[in-house]
Amino acid sequence: DVKVTQSSRYLVKRTGEKVFLECVQDMDHENMFWYRQDPGLGLRLIYFSYDVKMKEKGDIPEGYSVSREKKERFSLILESASTNQTSMYLCASSLALRRRLNEKLFFGSGTQLSVL
Amino acid sequence: KNEVEQSPQNLTAQEGEFITINCSYSVGISALHWLQQHPGGGIVSLFMLSSGKKKHGRLIATINIQEKHSSLHITASHPRDSAVYICAVRGEYGNKLVFGAGTILRVKS
């Protein structure tokens, strides 16, 4: 089974801190995604990556950046955390479109980030 | 108006009841996903549909492309089915999914 691992389940940070959220997948997936989930709003895409060193902005990229130096790892960076970035952050991965036989999205268990 | 609308937002059922959750979308799509999220956050993919109907155990998902509508049915519901059920669509082009806000299901014993 595909495993998508997020480094922290709960995280508490202070306003202005730099925050790193790490995500690792073990099935050689090309696509990786970072979402945030807020009550009543559903999942919203922050950034995604379809290959090493490639990244594209999602719907709400402001205040975030990402890094994909290796295929299996996709990091989300909050350069200067703010209280409105308190949320559940979910990482996901999937096969590339050209290799997609069964288009299935695999999620990590999420990181609940609180910014005080 | 959101591109993906789910109904109902909240649903409480008695064990054994037949449950239907609906998803309507406003854009042309190439695929629709149904996902399940249990308390604690983990999300599991249940189905991916581009036409017709799929069944897995007590879960059935249908899609009507012309009407831009999908339903997720749960037969003989059980308390362990209690979760948030999320509909997501992928547009005709690209990799991005657009998610509904989710339906919170509680099945009482």
* A29-87 pLDDT per residue, tens: 888 999 999 988 889 999 999 889 889 999 999 999 999 999 999 999 999 999 999 99
How many other β-carbons are positioned within 10 Å of the β-carbon of residue B1? 4
CA distance B107 to chain A (A): 20
First CA to last CA distance, chain B: 36
| Chains A, B: CB pairs < 8 Å | 53
| pLDDT of B6 higher than 70 | yes
Chain A residues whose CB is inside 8 A of the B31 CB are: 103
Residue A63 is classified by DSSP as: T
Nearest Cα residue to B48 out of B96, B81, B89: B89
CA distance B75 to B61: 11
pLDDT-derived band at A99 (thresholds 50, 70, 90) equals low
DSSP B39-67: TTS-EEEEEEESSEEEEETTEEEEEETTT
CA distance B100 to B23: 8
How much is the pLDDT for A95? 81
Cβ–Cβ gap A102/B90 under 8 Å: no
With the CA atoms of B99, A5, A93 and A95 taken in that order, what torsion angle do they form, in degrees rounded to the nearest 10?
Answer: -150
* B55-69 pLDDT per residue, tens: 999 999 999 999 999
CA distance A33 to chain B (A): 9
Nearest Cα residue to A107 out of A10, A41, A40, A29: A29
| pLDDT of A112 higher than 50 | yes
Q: Which residue of B has its CA nearest to A102?
A: B48
Q: Which residues contact B38 (CB under 8 A, 6 or more apart)?
A: B44, B83, B84
Cβ–Cβ gap B40/A102 under 8 Å: no
CA distance A106 to B35: 10
